[in-house]
Every structure is written in structure tokens, then in C-alpha cells.
Structure 1
Amino acid sequence: MTKRALRTAAALTAAALALTACGGSDEPETAAGEGGDLGPLTLQLSWIKNAEFAGEYFADTNGHYTAAGFSDVTMDPGPGPIETLVASGEADFGLSNAVATAQVIAEEDAPLKIVGTKFQKNPFTILSLADGGNIATPQDLVGKRIGVQAGGNETLFDALLEVNGIDPGSVEKVPVEYDPAPLIDGEVDGFLAYLTNESITVQDAGYEVTNLPFADNGLPFVAESIITTDEMIAEHPETVKAFLEAEILGWQDYLRDPEEGARLAVEEYGADLDLDMAKEVEQAEVQSTLIVTPDVEANGLLTITDELIEQNLATLAAAGIDLTDADDLFDLSLLEELLEEKPELVEVPSAA
């Protein structure tokens, strides 16, 4: 499987900014989890229906979305212009990351906010072969040929060089697509990839790999973040809280049984994709390390600490994105309200 690039959404037209409220009703909303009919929900996924969305599958299969008050939940697979789809009201919520979302907010004045995040650590990495480029530190990039996809990934790679004080002229940036074949074939020494995807794919093909994770080398930012519109937050707060509750419950179920999450991807939600069970199980295990951190164990799933927010803003600055105010990108107020009202949701279970 190939992984999507970090997207720069298409320009938002005036029509796209004519936001559509969830359900289109002017009636007061019933509180989350109290059996109110919040109507149908559309969630724009960031990628194909693989194990990356196992928590959503649990939330659907185990009835958490229904219990929260949603009559129906549609999960639209990616890739696609997630931010544009949410800003235009074509999707009620989307799964994106801090850099992609901030870029659209800064460049297009999109009325979007991150209201919670699944991945505390982003999965971007420079992937290399252990008996090839073996890029284990930022300085190992010097003199190497690195495969980088066009668009947002170039911005991200340039930021990696910037924060580590590496002269861009000392690294050869080679245009590639998202298939890691150029790395295996020796056309490049390193390849911009995902820890949860290409890294596993290459390793499963029989190669020993080395990873240089962005999150551990100067570019921490949240990913698989839940985004919605300012209008949704202001006018439909109970819808947002209901969705966040169902998400937390689904990801709690996932953490108790990641392998079942992989099975749901392979046999049910992604049954038409010919997914490999062993790879999906491994992906589930790897992504758990991106989801659960000491901060999450203390504060609960989807939460983002003030310190991590500041780290995200520093990453945006390194990427040349003019967005310095945390309130321009993050609104965690409804998540905080939810966890205060239902402290049992703070539980972070471990696999049985």
C-alpha cells in the first residue's frame, strides 16, 4: 500500500465556505449520550479503510455512534481534500494533521479547528535500508539522495532540514511517487514514508530498515486529528461532544484488542481492498505507540497538552506556515467539557 502525501487543499471557493450545519435543524440539540437524535454523520477519513481507522470501526460495530445519538455514520475513504470537504460542509468531521490543517487555515482562511487528536506523534519518517543509506540521524542525510513526493511533503522535508541545521544543498532531493520501489531498487538512499505503512511494507518484503522519525527529530506535530468547522463548534457543541465520546469509546475498544481492529479492517470495512492481515496487525501495533503516551495515560485519549501545542506551533514556523496563535488551530474546549462531565472516558486501557 502507498500512503497519501501531506495535502495542500485546493483553494476554497466562496461556495465552499457556505458552511452546512450538521443535520440542518434549528431545534435545540439533546445532550451527548442521552439518546437524542443528532441525525446522520459524515466522517472524511484520511486514507483507505485499513487498520488506521480501527477505532472508528469499533465505534460503529459496537454501537457507540448510535448510543451517542447519531442515526447513521458514513465513513468516506481518502485520500482527498479533507480540509475543503469539511469546510464546505460536505463532511461533518475529518481526520487530518496539524500541518495540513494549519496550511489551509493560513492560506485560505478556512474556518477549521482541531478538536482532538488520535496520534500524539506523527508517523512521518525518512525510511532507508539498513544495508543501504542507513539514515539513523539527521546528519546522516548529508550527501544522500532522498525520495520526496511533490507538494506538502516537500515543505515538510525542507522543514526537517531547517530545524536540524542541514544545508539543503548537501542533500539531493529526488522526486518520487508514494511507492517505495525506488528505495528498494537503489535509486534513492532514503524515502519519505509513514512508520505505519511503507516502513512495514518494505520490512515485510524481507528488508531490514532504518527509520528517522520526524516526531523525534525536531518536527513534532499531531496527526489523525479530528477537524470540524467553527460553526459546528459554536452552533452544535453537543454534536461535537457526542462524536468525541463515540470516538474515545471506539479507540478504548481498539486498545483492548488491536488484532480485532485489524480483522475489522481486513474482513469487513476494507474487505474489497485485499488487505494483508499480518501487515494490518503490525500496523495496529505500531500506531498504538503513536496514540498512547504518558500524557495520554494521564489525561485521556484525544487530548493535547499545552506543551505539545507549543511544539506544534514551532513545527509550523519551521515549515514556513504563518500561524502562531494556538487558538487559530486548536479548540479543545468541548473535549475538556466532555471529560469533566464523564471522567470515566479518561481511562486508557491496555490490550488484554
Structure 2
Amino acid sequence: MKRKIEYLLLVLLLILSACAMPPKTGRTKITFVLDWLPNTNHTGLYIAQTKGYFEKQGLDVEIIQPANSTAEQLVASGRADFGISYQEQLTYARTTKNALPIKAVAAILQHNTSGFASLKTSGIQTPKDFEGKRYGAYGTPSEYAMLAGIMADYGADISKTEVIDVASADFFTLVPKQIDYAWIFEGWAGIEAKLRGVELNYFSLRELDDTYDYYTPIIISNDAFLAENPDIAKKMLAAITDGYNDAVADPDEAATIFLANVPEANEELVRESQKFMSTKYIDDAPYFGYMEYDRFQKPADWLFEQGLLESPLDVSEAFTNEFLPNKG
């Protein structure tokens, strides 16, 4: 009964928000591309859409999923105005020979909430135990380098672990028959494991080495778009900030709004994930979206030292807080 009431209230909210919106014909069209399937990294966007925060800023925002291109490629080419990416992806994109003109304009999470996970029964107690095990990899160069570096810190040799490319296959369908451990996101797969009653050994990247405490995910935009449309960018970030601030204040309402927009999602997983994620959007930062220079510089230096970047990252061009409503 409580859930039905919540949905009825949400419908009422949509009606009231629509009444307060500027005429659609007078709004600026914006395309926002996600990085993957909708999940609780994206909740603030759906709140901003549902509560009319975009519309109140005079924006007509379409949220899309990437098809045959990545979010970085779509934003760089101008086919999307904003998108969701990851700091390591942006670092690669800006340092290749044919660099992509993209910039981080907000951090969705203040700290890296990902890490390596295995079943409790796997016998993996520390990264030293990765030797002789099968690792399910996404397949990115930085992933392999991080795994190699962490194993070396524990006196282990990455050549003694079998790396299997599993792309984005579901962790729970792979272990233990096909792989022994993988890189997961605590706020999604970690929560799902608890709901399934599956006990994990989990090694947080940021706790293993603070070099890996980079911003992930982030919101990106195109350099030229930002230079030509600073006021629109500020309006966009103001609406997004309102959405994520609401998610921090009321995780249950946030989950209800997310589920109304993504009804195919697992309700129990979304609600439990949202409780976790709502504590991570701002965390110990002064305000939503805030990013620090050193948190970009340290991982980029490490990647360059590992020979994974074609050139050093110019951090001053890689991110900005200037479009955030609470910029300091």
C-alpha cells in the first residue's frame, strides 16, 4: 500500500511540475548520454527530469543510452551535449594522438566505490592470492596495470593469474565456474551480493592504494560547447545538482522516482543500492560535483609512468568546477 501511495504522489508531482514548466517550444534542447544501462549512478538525472528541474531552467533534456559509440565519442563529436564517463577514460581520451575535446564538469561520486571481489569460498584473502586464479576483465589497459601494480605491492606476479576477457558480463553468472574474481562496483554488485546472500571477499581500490581513489563516474561535456554556451552549462549543472541533492536528502523517494523511469529494474536492488549511493554523492566534499586538482594529477601521473598514456595529462584542461552552482 505504501508503494502505491508513493507512485500516486509521484504522478501528482509530475502533473504539478508540468504546470510550472516554461513552454516546451521555448526550451533549449540538450542531449545527455549515459555510460551504460540506467542505474543508481544516474538517479539525480531522473529526479531532475521528473521534478521539472531541467524545465525550470529552460532546458528540454533527452536522456539516452549509448548504442554503437561510447559516451566520450558522442560528446566529443557533438552528438550529445553532456554524458557520463570515468576519470580514467577521460584521461586516455585527452592524452591520445587524436585527443577528444571533452572535459569533466562534475563528479557524481566523491570516492571510488569499486574494487576486486571473489566468493568467500575462493580462498582469496589478499591480492597475493590472485596468483593461480582466474580474473574476469573488462579489457581496458588501465585495469590490467592497476591489477599488476596491486599484485606487485603484495609480492605477487600478474603473469601467474589467468586474465579472461568477460566485458560487462554479470559477475554472479561467472563465478565460480568461469572466473574466480573480478572488478565490481560496491554500490551495485556489492549490494546485490548481500541481497542474494552471497558472501564476498572485497578489496576496495581506494583502500589498497589512494592513487586509485579517482572520480568515477563523472559528468562530461564538450570543450567547444562549454566555451560557447557557459550559461546553458550552468543551468544544466544547477538542475542536476538539485536532483542529486534531493537523492541525498531522501533516498527512498529517489528510488521511487528512479523506478518510475526505469520500471524494468529490480526494485529491491534499486532501493538498497540507493540507500548506499545517497551517502556517496557528496560524502566528505563541500558540495555535489566538486573535484580537486590532485585527485586528477596523481592517477594521471601513475598512468604515464606505467607507459599507458601517450603524453602527460594537462589537468587544468581536464576538469572544471566553474559551472557548478556552489563553486568555491
TM-score strictly above 0.5: yes
Identify which range, 104-113 or 164-173, moves more after superposition. 164-173
The CA deviation string for residues 106-140 of structure 1, in whole angstroms up to 9 with x for no partner, is 223111111111112233321111122444x4333
2:148 maps to 1:156: no
Q: In the alignment, residue 106 of structure 1 is paired with which amino acid?
A: T
Give the SS at the match of 2:182. strand
In structure 1, what is the equivalent of residue 235 of structure 2? Answer: 242
2:297 is matched with which residue: 300, 310, 313? Answer: 310
Following the alignment from structure 1 to structure 2, what is the Cα–Cα distance between the partners of residues 39 and 175?
42
1:260 is matched with which residue: 246, 253, 278? Answer: 253
1:102 touches 1:323 (CA, 8 Å); kept in 2?
no
Describe the shift of the 1:237–1:245 C-alpha distance in structure 2 as closer, same or farther (beyond 3 A): same
Give the SS at the match of 1:143. coil
Following the alignment from structure 2 to structure 1, what is the Cα–Cα distance between the partners of residues 157 and 129?
12
1:231 is matched with which residue: 224, 228, 239? Answer: 224
In structure 2, what is the equivalent of residue 300 of structure 1? Answer: 287
Structure 2, unmatched stretches of 5+, are 1-25
User: 1:161: how far off?
Assistant: 1.9
Q: In the alignment, residue 112 of structure 1 is paired with which amino acid?
A: I
Following the alignment from structure 2 to structure 1, what is the Cα–Cα distance between the partners of residues 307 and 176?
30
2:71 maps to 1:82: yes
- RMSD, matched Cα: 2.5
The CA deviation string for residues 278-312 of structure 1, in whole angstroms up to 9 with x for no partner, is 10112112323432332x1xx21100123323333
User: 1:164: how far off?
Assistant: 5.2
Give the SS at the match of 1:131. helix
The CA deviation string for residues 151-209 of structure 1, in whole angstroms up to 9 with x for no partner, is x2x53132232255242213222232422245433432212222222233333222111
Identify which range, 242-251 or 309-318, moves more after superposition. 309-318
Describe the shift of the 1:134–1:284 C-alpha distance in structure 2 as closer, same or farther (beyond 3 A): farther
1:114 touches 1:226 (CA, 8 Å); kept in 2?
yes
The CA deviation string for residues 59-104 of structure 1, in whole angstroms up to 9 with x for no partner, is 112221112221x110002465101111111111001111112212
TM-score by length of 1: 0.76
In structure 2, what is the equivalent of residue 4 of structure 1? Answer: none
Give the SS at the match of 1:52. coil
Following the alignment from structure 2 to structure 1, what is the Cα–Cα distance between the partners of residues 163 and 226?
41
- Structural mapping, 1:94-173, within 5 Å: 94-107=83-96, 108-135=98-125, 137-150=126-139, 152=140, 154-162=141-149, 165=152, 166-173=156-163
2:277 maps to 1:287: yes
The CA deviation string for residues 236-272 of structure 1, in whole angstroms up to 9 with x for no partner, is 1111111111111110111111122222222x2112x
2:174 maps to 1:187: no
2:33 touches 2:84 (CA, 8 Å); kept in 1?
yes
The CA deviation string for residues 207-230 of structure 1, in whole angstroms up to 9 with x for no partner, is 111211223223121112111111
Following the alignment from structure 2 to structure 1, what is the Cα–Cα distance between the partners of residues 280 and 202?
15
Q: In the alignment, residue 157 of structure 1 is paired with which amino acid?
A: Y
Identify which range, 311-320 or 169-178, moves more after superposition. 311-320
2:248 touches 2:281 (CA, 8 Å); kept in 1?
no
2:192 maps to 1:201: yes
Describe the shift of the 1:289–1:308 C-alpha distance in structure 2 as closer, same or farther (beyond 3 A): farther
Q: In the alignment, residue 205 of structure 2 is paired with which amino acid?
A: F
Following the alignment from structure 1 to structure 2, what is the Cα–Cα distance between the partners of residues 148 and 323?
26
Q: In the alignment, residue 212 of structure 1 is paired with which amino acid?
A: F
The CA deviation string for residues 22-62 of structure 1, in whole angstroms up to 9 with x for no partner, is xxxxxxxxxxxxxxx55111110112223331111111122
2:228 maps to 1:221: no
TM-score by length of 2: 0.81
1:320 is matched with which residue: 308, 311, 327? Answer: 308
The CA deviation string for residues 297-342 of structure 1, in whole angstroms up to 9 with x for no partner, is xx2110012332333324533571233321231123333xx325xx
Give the SS at the match of 2:289. coil
In structure 2, what is the equivalent of residue 329 of structure 1? Answer: 318
